[in-house]
Amino acid sequence: MASNQSTAKQKILLTLGIFIFAMYMALGLAFVFVTELPFNMSPTMRVSFGAVLIAYAGFRLYRLVKQSKNQ
């Protein structure tokens, strides 16, 4: 019984991790490619912030894959 609960918990956490990765990636891509945002940002700052978000999404994906391989 504990094994089933553990497996269900792992599946939920994996799904949540994939969702959070996708949200960071989408937000980063939006900052890079959408020019009209509802707030004022210089283009350099907008693209830089988008690149940081994309890099963080990649880091989260790396950790997610590494963690799922260990279990």
pLDDT given for residue 35 in this prediction? 87
Torsion-angle region of 41 (φ positive above 0: left; ψ -120 to 50: alpha; else: beta): beta
pLDDT at 47: 94
How many angstroms separate the CA atoms of 60 and 24, rounded?
9
Contact 33, 54 (CB under 8 A): no
| Residue 57 pLDDT | 97
The number of folded domains in the chain is: 1
Question: 23 is in which domain, residue-wise?
Answer: 2-70
Q: Which residues of the chain have pLDDT under 50?
A: none
